[in-house]
Structure 1
Amino acid sequence: MQIIQSIQNRIYELRGERVMIDRDLAALYEIETKSLNLAVKRNLKRFPKDFMFQLTKEEWDSLRFQIETLEKQQYPLRLQNETSKRGGTRYLPYAFTEQGVAMLSGILNSDKAINMNIAIMRAFVEIRRILLKENDVKEQMKEIKERLGEHDVQLNQIYDAMENLLDEKAAQRKWGERERIGFKK
C-alpha cells in the first residue's frame, strides 16, 4: 500500500487529465529518463496526444513549484545544496496519461517495469475510486443543504407562530392585571 501512496503522490492534474511525468516514471522503473524517452520515441505511433504530451514552460514551472513544495513537506530536513544538485532539465518533460502509462508496459519489458506498471494502474484506479466517493459525498452534502433550507423555512414559520402566541398571552395578561376603576365591592 505504501508504494501505491508513493505513486499517487506523483500523479498530477494537467489539462484536465491525471498524468505522470517522465522523470517520475523513470525513477519508478529504475531507469534513466533519457532511456524512457528514447524507448517512447522509438515507438511514437503507440503514443497519440491523448496518451502523452509535452509540457509547456508555464505548466512545467507550475508543476515544478508543486513538486518542490511537496518534497519540502515530505523531507523538511533535506539540505539546501542537495536540492540544487539535481539541476534543471534541458528539455521540457513529457506527461503520460493513464492510457500512456499502460502503453509503456508494452515497450518496457523488464520485470521491474511490469511490476511497477501494475502498481501504477492500481494507483490510478484507487484515485478514481476516491474521486467517485468524493462526488458521492458532495451530492449527499447538497441534499442535506437543500433539506436544511426547507427546515429553515419551517422553523421560521414555527418561530413566527410562537411569537404571535406569546404576544396574545401578554395582551391577555395585561387586560387581566389592569387597575379596576369604578365601584368596588
Structure 2
Amino acid sequence: MSVKFTVEKIETMIYMIRGHRVMLDSDLAKLYGVETKRLKEQVRRNIDRFPSDFLIEPNSSELATLRSQIATLDRKSAENYVFKHTPYLFTENGVAMLSSVLQSKEAIQVNITIMRTFTKLRSFLAMESSLKEEVDHLKTSTNQLFKVVFERLDNLEEEITPKLPANRKKISLREK
C-alpha cells in the first residue's frame, strides 16, 4: 500500500495547543481513511487508553487559537472554519495510541508517516535550540571583545591628546 500523504503535508496538519503539538480528529480521520465520527467512536470505546496528555478536548479560547492557526496555514479562513462538534486533539502520544485502536494496514502505514513527521519536528526544535545557544555565546564573546577594544582606544586617546598648559596664550587672527 502506498501512503498518499507526505511528511510535508502532515506537517501542515499539526497545531500548537497547551504547549503540545496536536492533530485534529478530522485530519487524522482523513489520513486513516475513516469518517471522523467512526474515529471518535473508537476513541470513546477505548477512552482509558487516552489520558489528558494524549487527548485534549479544547475549550472555547483554545478553539479560537486553533481557528487562527488553521487560517495562518491557509487551509480555510478562521471565520469560515466552524466546528460542528468540539474536535478531539491528539498529541503525539495520542496519535501513537490510535494505531492500537485503528488496526487496519492503512492505519499502521499512516501512523508510521505521522510518527516520522513528529520526529522531524522534534529534530528541528533541537537544532533551533542549539543554534540559539551558539548565537548567544557569539554575542557574549563579541561584546567582551568590543569592550576591550573600546577601553584600549580610550587609553590611546588619552596618550595621544596633547596636554596644554593652563596659562597658554591663545593665538588668534583678530586684533584685540
TM range (shorter): 0.7 to 0.9
Equivalent of 1:28 in 24, 31, 51:
31
Equivalent of 1:157 in 151, 155, 159:
151
Q: Runs of 4+ in structure 1 displaced over 2 angstroms?
A: 87-90
Equivalent of 1:71 in 50, 65, 74:
74
Aligned to 1:44: 47
Q: Could you tell me how far apart the structure 2 residues matched to 1:116 and 1:135 are?
A: 29
CA RMSD in angstroms comes to: 2.3
Shift of 1:126: 0.6
Equivalent of 2:113 in 116, 119, 137:
119
Structure 2 letter corresponding to 1:158: R
- Contact 2:15/2:69 (<8 A) preserved: no
Aligned to 2:56: 53
- Contact 1:105/1:114 (<8 A) preserved: yes
Shift of 1:22: 0.8
Q: How many residues in Structure 1 have an aligned counterpart in Structure 2?
A: 161
Q: Secondary structure at the match of 1:12?
A: strand
| Rg larger for | 1
Unaligned runs of 5+ in 1: 172-177, 179-185
Structure 1 letter corresponding to 2:68: F
Q: Could you tell me how far apart the structure 2 residues matched to 1:165 and 1:104 are?
A: 76
Shift of 1:53: 1.6
Unaligned runs of 5+ in 2: 165-170, 172-176
Higher helix share: 1
Sequence identity, in percent?
Answer: 39
- Contact 2:24/2:88 (<8 A) preserved: yes
Q: Could you tell me how far apart the structure 1 residues matched to 2:51 and 2:8 are?
A: 28
Shift of 1:166: 2.6
Shift of 1:88: 2.9
